[in-house]
Structures are given as structure tokens and as C-alpha cells.
Amino acid sequence: MIVLQEFKKYSMIQRLKTHQRYYETLFLFLLSCYCFALSLFRLIYSDTLVFIFLNVNLFLAFLPWFFSSLLIIYPKLQQSKIAVTLLLCTWLLFFPNAPYILTDLFHLRHQFSMPVWFDLALILSFAWTGLLFGLLSLWDIEQVLRNFLPPRIIPLVSVLLLFLGSFGIYLGRYLRWNSWDILREPFGILYDISDRLVNPLDHPRTWGMTIIMGLFLNMVYWSFHFIRDRTA
């Protein structure tokens, strides 16, 4: 009942302003509109549907930010362990979708209906926006976890979550699993995961990509941390 009252108490815009999320939300919305406009221009100019799927990928990248934002703008949700657990699990399930768009750069070598510089700018725009959704959502998760974990543990958890996100990117890019497949085909995805955990030497590409991509995501994430701390 308390949680329901919390949802009804203020308008969404009021909540965003109260929790200093209004300009962040507006900025991310404008970036998403810019990405959509680029993809629409490409569709009209080239008369092909190439890269239109990036809009779906960006929506999936938006979801972890949406779930983490709920915990921030509705702080009473953090008083319910069930609500926190459900939202954290859902966040983790969709978190790999945020940096996943980086791997769509692979498609550059297969498309020739537009200048390569345009497609590069197109994919990078989507990838950057998706990455922002993911990194900002991870900051939210850090804030929530401070209520449950010692502060010195939080950075280690963030590092681990970024490597888990990298592993999720591998599952999506090479094994073609989607976030919702954990509900549609749980045994299939759990088998693929367990096989790589039990027999790591049989899957060098899995761990090679997970480690290198995980290091890259940590490099970007902690760079943002230093920039934020310097300007604070």
C-alpha cells in the first residue's frame, strides 16, 4: 500500500526534478530522438531497412536505465526488499543490452547502400546513447547498493557487474540469446552458460571477448567516475 501511494503522490516531472533527473532524462530523450532521426534519414535516402533494428536495440538499452531510475525517483521502493530484488534482477537481465550496440559496428563491413562515414556515425550515435543508458543506470545501482553493502565493496561489485554485462554481450552477439529468453528457453540458455563455466578451456572466444570487453567497459566507466569526481 505504501509503495502504491508513493507512485501516486507526485507527477513524473515533479519526481524527476526532485531527484535531479529532469535534465538527464531530457538529454537522453533528445539523444534518442537524434538517433531515430538518423536512422529515418537513412531509411528514406537509401530506401532500405538496413540498421533500422538499431532503434529496437536502443529501446532495450533504455530498459536498465528505466528500471534503475524507478528505484531512485521512488525511494520508498528501496524499503521493500522484494521490490529491490525484483528490480535489480530485471536490471541485470537487461543491462548487457546497453553496451551491446557497440558490437553492431561489425555490420559496417557488410553494407554499401550509404557512405561508410555516415553508417559509422549512425552506429556510434546509437552505441554512445546506449552506453550512457547503461553507465548512468549502474551509478543508480551503486547508490541503491550503498543501503545494503559496505561502501568499500561497491567498486568491486561494479567491476563484477561490468564483466557480467560483457559476458551477456557475448551471449547475445554470438549465441543469439535475448534477455527474455531466460523465460522462453531457460534450460537452453542455462546449458550454454554452465557449459562455458564447467569447460572454460573449450570456449576460448567466450572468455577472450568477456575479458577484453569487460576491461573496455571498466575503462570507460571508471573514466566517467574520474571526470565526475573532478567536476564535483
State pTM to two decimals. 0.89
The reported pLDDT for the residue numbered 20 is 81
The reported pLDDT for the residue numbered 4 is 47
CA–CA dist 193, 207 (Å, integer): 12
Neighbouring residues of 175: CB distance < 8 A, sequence distance ≥ 6: 192
Q: Which of 131, 201, 132, 123 is nearest to 169 (CA)?
A: 131
The reported pLDDT for the residue numbered 58 is 97
The reported pLDDT for the residue numbered 10 is 61
Task: Please classify residue 151 by burial: count the beta carbons closer than 10 Å to its beta carbon, then call 0-12 exposed, 13-18 middle and 19+ buried.
Answer: exposed
Contact between 79 and 148 under an 8 Å Cβ cutoff? The reply is no
Q: How far is CA 146 from CA 67, 82, 160, 184, in A?
A: 17, 17, 16, 33
CA–CA dist 84, 71 (Å, integer): 8
| Sign of the dihedral defined by the CA atoms of residues 29, 34, 35, 36, in that order | positive
The reported pLDDT for the residue numbered 132 is 96
The reported pLDDT for the residue numbered 2 is 44
CA–CA dist 141, 146 (Å, integer): 9
Task: Please classify residue 119 by burial: count the beta carbons closer than 10 Å to its beta carbon, then call 0-12 exposed, 13-18 middle and 19+ buried.
Answer: buried
Residues comprising the chain, all counted: 232
Residue 149 CA, distance from chain mean position:
23
pLDDT 10s digit of each residue in the chain, 232 long? Answer: 444 454 455 677 888 888 788 899 999 999 999 999 999 999 999 888 889 999 999 999 999 999 999 999 988 888 888 889 999 999 999 999 999 999 999 888 776 788 899 999 999 999 999 999 999 999 999 999 998 899 999 999 999 999 999 999 999 999 988 888 888 888 899 999 999 999 989 999 999 999 999 999 999 999 988 887 776 6
